[in-house]
Amino acid sequence: METTSVHIPKFRSTTRLARWVQKNKYLGRLPPASERCFFRSKESPKKISDNLLLYSNWAGKLGEELEALFDATNHHLVNYCRAVHLKNEKPSSFVLSRMNEEMLVNASQFLGRLPEEHERRITQPHLASVYANFVGSVPSYLEDVIVEKADSSIEYIELLKKNSREVPERFMRALVGHDRHFHRLVRALGGPLPSYLLQSMTDPVVALNYARGYLRGRLPEEVEGNVFFNNPEMGAKYGLEVIRGFSNPRLPDALHNSIVLSASSDQSDEIRRYIAEVERCSEKPVSDGE
């Protein structure tokens, strides 16, 4: 239907305008006399904002006077950006200026990179990493935000590797001591952990899984001691599952002795098996005082 052949009424309420536009599938802006109801309606501000969003789905980009009527406390502005994007248009800076940083990030999934003045308003590391996932690698001023937190750093590292981009070392160093991200990092890198991350490892479960699943061999001796010394059960499990193979699963002396000295009547199966295997593989039984 050609919109020019349709009789366009003057509306008393924004609800009637929105229904009329939808019913007639009217594309583009209505005459100013018809849009005037958005300023004169006695409907609630929320209802006006709701209907303005519905109208924008057909009309596309609106002027600042109408855009100022959007309720900025919900996601109407984000959805308005989507409507404008679908019309192959860009929202005005006025619209972006009314958004908080979470709204800006959500809008970027439709709009792509935002103007620098609005990018710089993104100050939370998590939101900065979400923004990067929507738009790709970001400028250094946003990387400075992302690197402040380990959680956002690992997300950005994954993004860079997915796009075959080099990972700046500062993002790797942001993960020092954050063992929970090491499995994701190894998958992203497709290679071993840097030595400074390996030396920072403290979680025995992460250490065991890394040695067993990726290295398929032993960790450096100082890492073994740092990780397993205070966890005899996991140390025994590590000896049995990583070191044993076809050889003696005995750990370095200090770590081995800590496991033996922890033995008691209610010791775990891993500790019991570890001691038994060490004794079986040794030339002579290993005593508790060894």
pLDDT one-digit tens code per residue, 240-265 = 888 876 567 778 888 888 887 776 65
State pLDDT tens for residues 230-245.
Answer: 898 999 999 888 887 6
**Residue 180 has what DSSP assignment?**
G
Q: How confident is the model at residue 7, as a pLDDT?
A: 84
Share of the chain above pLDDT 90, in %: 73
Share of the chain above pLDDT 70, in %: 93
Numbers of helices and strands, H then E, in the chain: 20, 0
What is the mean predicted confidence (pLDDT) over 72-76? Answer: 89
Contact 185, 154 (CB under 8 A): yes
Domain boundaries along the sequence of the chain: 1-111, 122-191, 201-290
Q: How confident is the model at residue 255, as a pLDDT?
A: 84
Tokens of 246: 């076809």
Dihedral of the alpha carbons of 271, 272, 275, 277, in degrees to the nearest 10:
-110
* pLDDT tier, 288 (very low <50, low <70, confident <90, very high otherwise): very low
Say whether pLDDT at 114 is over 70: yes
Nearest of 207, 128, 197 to residue 169 by alpha carbon: 197
Say whether pLDDT at 57 is over 60: yes
Q: How confident is the model at residue 290, as a pLDDT?
A: 42
User: Given the structure tokens 């500062």, which residue do they identify?
Assistant: 170
State pLDDT tens for residues 174-232.
Answer: 999 999 999 999 999 998 999 999 999 999 999 999 999 899 889 999 999 999 988 98
Largest distance between two CA atoms of the chain: 102
Say whether pLDDT at 289 is over 60: no
Contact 38, 61 (CB under 8 A): no
CB atoms within 10 A of CB 71: 17
Q: How confident is the model at residue 277, as a pLDDT?
A: 77
What is the mean predicted confidence (pLDDT) over 151-159? Answer: 97
User: Given the structure tokens 């996601």, which residue do they identify?
Assistant: 75
Tokens of 41: 């309606």
State pLDDT tens for residues 136-153.
Answer: 999 999 999 999 999 999
Q: Is the pTM value of this prediction over 0.85?
A: no
Report the distance separating Cα 110 and Cα 103, nearest Å.
Answer: 12
Q: How confident is the model at residue 267, as a pLDDT?
A: 67
Contact 51, 20 (CB under 8 A): no
Going from the C-alpha of 32 to that of each of 29, 65, 83, 158, 191, the distances in angstroms are 9, 11, 20, 50, 63
